[in-house]
């Protein structure tokens, strides 16, 4: 049986696809697995902010379309890049074991940044969290692959990146400070991979079930419900992290409002009780004054 994996062409995306390649191959050594590299609009245009390229889904839609058209059998994504609603015709078949969920400051520690230092990030979530701790900072934009982002250190005092990206690509840098995820709340799905297949391709979905990690799936799906409650592609800065708490899930999250105020909270409950949605609803009410 042949399985074709659709993936973006960046070094990190290829690492992710090869990781899934290895996991699937270990399920059945007779499987023949191939990569189908895809260039998305967001990969081709590094000048525009992600928001102007379609926000959530800017990196994933092109890869999803290759699977929907039958040119590939599965799509591999960073879970944080996925839209809150899975497109019709597709289904998430696996969330493998999650990697590091933290953000990190590269080039300086927070305490060593001078007053008025310039920090680069392409994320509104990271921007508002940085300014919450250090209102004196000047924030500038950041786009491109990992190496392109690291070169930005020639122009700025520090950059913010996902810790997992540096570790997966084996980047050994002189100054890297992991930021406390309790305060610097991660993006929904950060550190996790999501593998999609066509929703009627039961043979492929059965194979993906063998590489699924249930605790990761429960946590990430809870975070995705948080995002869905906010509106899926919510323009306001937000983040959420779900993790096991006894027999329940504990979800920490935040939502920034239009005035720049930060609203934080947490919710504990069974997965079926939708703690992610409940937390998002309460934060939305605090930020907007009403429920959408």
Q: What is the mean pLDDT of each run of 10 residues along the chain (292 residues)?
A: 95 96 94 90 51 62 94 96 93 98 97 97 93 96 90 96 95 93 96 98 97 97 95 78 95 89 94 95 84 45
* Domains identified in the chain and CATH numbers: 1-98+192-212 (3.40.190.10), 103-178 (3.40.190.10), 213-292 (3.30.160.40)
Q: What pLDDT is attached to residue 231?
A: 85
Q: What is the pLDDT of residue 49?
A: 52
Q: Which two tokens stand for residue 44?
A: 């081709």
Rounded Cα distance, 150 and 130, in Å: 18
Please give the model's pTM, rounded to 2 decimal places: 0.90
What does the pLDDT read at residue 113?
97
Which residues are the active-site residues?
A: 81
């Amino acid at each position: 049986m042949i399985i074709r994996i659709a993936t973006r062409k960046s070094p990190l995306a290829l690492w992710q696809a090869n990781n899934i390649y290895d996991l699937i191959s270990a399920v059945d050594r007779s499987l023949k697995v191939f990569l189908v590299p895809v260039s998305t609009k967001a990969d081709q245009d590094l000048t525009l902010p992600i928001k102007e390229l379609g926000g959530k889904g800017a990196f994933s839609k092109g890869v999803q379309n290759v699977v929907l058209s039958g040119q590939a059998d599965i799509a591999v994504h960073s879970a944080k890049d996925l839209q809150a609603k899975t497109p019709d015709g597709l289904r998430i078949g696996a969330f493998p074991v999650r990697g590091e969920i933290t953000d990190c400051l590269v080039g300086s520690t927070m305490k060593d940044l001078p007053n008025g230092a310039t920090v680069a990030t392409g994320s509104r979530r990271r921007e508002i969290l940085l300014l919450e701790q250090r209102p004196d900072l000047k924030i500038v934009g950041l786009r491109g692959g990992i190496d392109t982002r690291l070169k930005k250190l020639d122009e700025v005092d520090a950059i913010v990146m996902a810790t997992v990206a540096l570790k997966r690509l084996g980047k050994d840098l002189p100054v890297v400070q992991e930021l406390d995820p309790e305060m610097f709340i991660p993006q929904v799905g950060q550190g996790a991979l999501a593998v999609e297949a066509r929703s009627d391709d039961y043979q492929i979905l059965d194979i993906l079930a063998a590489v699924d990690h249930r605790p990761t799936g429960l946590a990430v799906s809870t975070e995705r419900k948080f995002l869905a409650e906010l509106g899926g592609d919510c323009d306001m800065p937000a983040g959420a992290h779900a993790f096991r708490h006894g027999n329940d899930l504990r979800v920490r999250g935040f939502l920034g409002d239009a005035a720049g105020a930060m609203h934080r909270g947490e919710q504990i409950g069974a997965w079926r009780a939708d703690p992610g949605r409940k937390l998002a609803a309460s934060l939305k009410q605090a930020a907007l004054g009403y429920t959408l």
